[in-house]
A and B are shown apart, each in its own frame.
Chain A
């Protein structure tokens, strides 16, 4: 969540407003979310699995 807010603030306050920055954030952040979630559940594999 914090990374998202930071990315938004960075892209908004960047002087070049041609649309490229926004485009890259829209493409890269969702992919980063997938990798993050994959990574988190990867490192939590030692948790007890059964209900």
Chain B
């Protein structure tokens, strides 16, 4: 198929998507219910991606693994952009910017770190790695490393690293797919996961990289067009401007006075004072959990008995009995509950009202954490195996480099819209919601509170019956899905934005599934047990493993790992620690040896895992402040893993220099 035909196909598919949106908009004006329109968006978009998978099905090894190495720079750029733009990017970033602003609370990083790190990483990838990876002619990144260093061990370690960071990323994506599918259709979460997974499998299972590439091209069109359409509609609705950045600039101006009013509002100060008292109480409980549990149980018991005596409604009694102190006898678990609540209250006390810096005391700590996260995201973007793999599908190294320019262009368009959207949504939250009476909330706020899971929680700390900013808790992970409702624009936008979010999660899940199954089949199984297997047998086993990996990831996702953005950030740190040093040294330093490569990968990955595990996962929350190195957040573990890997790689290569130099061209 010629290049001109490919453009026509993409234009046709985009036109089809546009027609679908228009016809659903017409359906809404004719009175078709909101839920039916949402289900149409869900079913039609999954059916469209699956149709491409069917058309592009293949059993040819070269087509299955690297799409025949025939994808031109613009298409590869689009596919890479869709591959890279995940649910975290599409849904989480806008929510994070609304919740934490650009710079967080002055101690932790905010949305600016994500915007700069995730875009700047493509400069590193395009300049340092894309061309050289394409030049290698390998099929997977572990294969490239193994051939470059002439070592099976390096290849295995690369495969394990690819499975580890892609696995963490994959679970977060499938969780997001389940959320979007269940929110759109009203079906339960578990069913949503497995239904959407069917769509993913139809693409990647039948056609491998070839089908995934063309699906991702269409998904890129959907992601970019939905985000741009929503941002333009909101800017037009609020400010009469078709330029989202311009509208957001006006929103910032309008917000400045509102923020000053909230800052000096005595009710806001009163709410914060009450939250500080609660914080102190939690500190006391955590310090002496047994005594706190006993005292609180006594108090609860008396209240419950009193309610029963008065024949109070059952739901009031059940609300009291839901307190973990009443039904949980394990004080360790209670301490974890209290620690989580403490962390949430601390964040709410320190967060910014508008987009100014938050009120935490550690100004330089905030800058340090932002810089660390930016570095982690940059190096992680340049090292994620499923993104690197896309550099293998272009015919020439030059086109691989050019495709990164296209990728970055699409990613930047989405980010500029996402940040503009965040500013405009926050403007509405601060003007419409903050200051309104609890019993007369705006309709959208009432709806968001009633959603399952609730997108908005209000806690009237000072009991004055009015909403203060300190009382507002927003579910950042999927707040963007409610943007049309908050801003009062057509319900079709809800379906549209969910179709974009679904495309983002599905495209990334496709790429990750291929990476994991290829690492298992191509780099581990065939390298060890069946090096002489026929190409068709290799492809068939890759397909079977792909299905198994997808099912395992879906099963893990049904346990609902909280905070998509946190898990995705961890995957970036892991990828940076495992792959950045070894790629940089193996591609640019002839003196790099296999001992150096093994040392670099093992030491960097283990250090990052240890730092994240001991400071974050063990506490079952995003972060604990105790014992952090220079206060660096656990998700930024890559800033320690990468230097460790570089140091170990250089040191071990000096001690055990390479015995045989394998030039990059020989790796083909």
With both chains docked as a complex, state the minimum distance between the C-beta of A30 and any C-beta of chain B, in angstroms: 4
Task: Confirm or deny: B115 has a beta carbon within 8 angstroms of a beta carbon on chain A.
Answer: yes
Of residues 377 through 431 on chain B, the ones whose CB sits less than 8 Å from some CB of chain A are 378, 396-399, 401-402, 404-405, 408-409, 411-412, 415-416, 419, 423
Task: Confirm or deny: B102 has a beta carbon within 8 angstroms of a beta carbon on chain A.
Answer: yes
Q: Which residues of A contact B164 (CB under 8 A)?
A: none
Q: Which residues of A contact B371 (CB under 8 A)?
A: 5, 8
Q: Which residues of B contact A23 (CB under 8 A)?
A: 102, 248-249, 252, 355, 419, 423
Query: Which bracket fits the contact residues of B?
Result: 35 or more
A12 to B111, CA, bound (A): 14
Of residues 1 through 51 on chain A, the ones whose CB sits less than 8 Å from some CB of chain B are 1, 4-5, 8-9, 12-13, 17-20, 22-23, 25-27, 29-31, 33-34, 36-38, 40-41, 44-45, 47, 49-51
With both beta carbons as reference points, the residue of chain A lying nearest to B665 in the complex is identified as A51
Task: Confirm or deny: B64 has a beta carbon within 8 angstroms of a beta carbon on chain A.
Answer: no
Stretch of B118-126, B334-342, B613-621 contacting A (4+ beta carbons < 8 Å): B118-126
With both chains docked as a complex, state the minimum distance between the C-beta of A47 and any C-beta of chain B, in angstroms: 7
Task: Confirm or deny: B357 has a beta carbon within 8 angstroms of a beta carbon on chain A.
Answer: yes
Contact yes or no, B119 A29, CB < 8 A: yes
Contact yes or no, B415 A30, CB < 8 A: yes
With both chains docked as a complex, state the minimum distance between the C-beta of B232 and any C-beta of chain A, in angstroms: 16
Contact yes or no, A34 B126, CB < 8 A: no
Q: Mark B325-354, 1 if CB is under 8 A from A, else 0.
A: 000000000000000000000000000101
Task: Confirm or deny: B370 has a beta carbon within 8 angstroms of a beta carbon on chain A.
Answer: yes
Of residues 24 through 43 on chain B, the ones whose CB sits less than 8 Å from some CB of chain A are none
With both chains docked as a complex, state the minimum distance between the C-beta of B175 and any C-beta of chain A, in angstroms: 27
- Contact flag A4-B116 (CB < 8 Å), given A19-B252, A33-B123: yes
Task: Confirm or deny: B101 has a beta carbon within 8 angstroms of a beta carbon on chain A.
Answer: yes
Task: Confirm or deny: B204 has a beta carbon within 8 angstroms of a beta carbon on chain A.
Answer: no
Q: Which residues of B contact A49 (CB under 8 A)?
A: 396-399
A30 to B414, CA, bound (A): 11
Contact yes or no, A4 B120, CB < 8 A: yes
Majority-rule SS of B interface residues: helix
Q: Which residues of B contact A51 (CB under 8 A)?
A: 134-135, 137, 396-397, 665, 668
Contact yes or no, A1 B120, CB < 8 A: yes
- Contact flag A4-B396 (CB < 8 Å), given A12-B366, A36-B123: no
Task: Confirm or deny: B562 has a beta carbon within 8 angstroms of a beta carbon on chain A.
Answer: no
Q: Which residues of A contact B120 (CB under 8 A)?
A: 1, 4, 29, 33
Of residues 291 through 334 on chain B, the ones whose CB sits less than 8 Å from some CB of chain A are none
Q: Which residues of B contact A22 (CB under 8 A)?
A: 101-103, 112, 355, 357
Q: Which residues of B contact A8 (CB under 8 A)?
A: 112, 116, 367, 370-371, 374
With both beta carbons as reference points, the residue of chain A lying nearest to B399 in the complex is identified as A49
Task: Confirm or deny: B460 has a beta carbon within 8 angstroms of a beta carbon on chain A.
Answer: no
Contact yes or no, B356 A19, CB < 8 A: yes
Contact yes or no, B396 A34, CB < 8 A: no
Q: Which residues of B contact A30 (CB under 8 A)?
A: 115-116, 119, 411-412, 415-416
Contact yes or no, A37 B415, CB < 8 A: no
- Contact flag A26-B409 (CB < 8 Å), given A33-B120, A37-B122: no
Q: Which residues of B contact A25 (CB under 8 A)?
A: 102, 112, 116
- Contact flag A4-B374 (CB < 8 Å), given A9-B367, A26-B115: yes
A8 to B356, CA, bound (A): 14
Contact yes or no, B405 A19, CB < 8 A: no
A11 to B423, CA, bound (A): 18
With both beta carbons as reference points, the residue of chain A lying nearest to B260 in the complex is identified as A18
- Interface positions of A (Cβ within 8 A of B): 1, 4-5, 8-9, 12-13, 17-20, 22-23, 25-27, 29-31, 33-34, 36-38, 40-41, 44-45, 47, 49-51
- Interface positions of B (Cβ within 8 A of A): 101-103, 111-112, 115-116, 119-120, 122-124, 126-127, 131, 134-135, 137, 245, 248-249, 252, 255-256, 352, 354-357, 363, 366-367, 370-371, 374-375, 378, 396-399, 401-402, 404-405, 408-409, 411-412, 415-416, 419, 423, 665, 668
**12 A-B contact pairs sorted by A residue (CB < 8 Å):** A1-B375, A8-B367, A19-B101, A23-B419, A27-B245, A31-B416, A33-B120, A33-B122, A33-B408, A37-B122, A37-B404, A50-B396
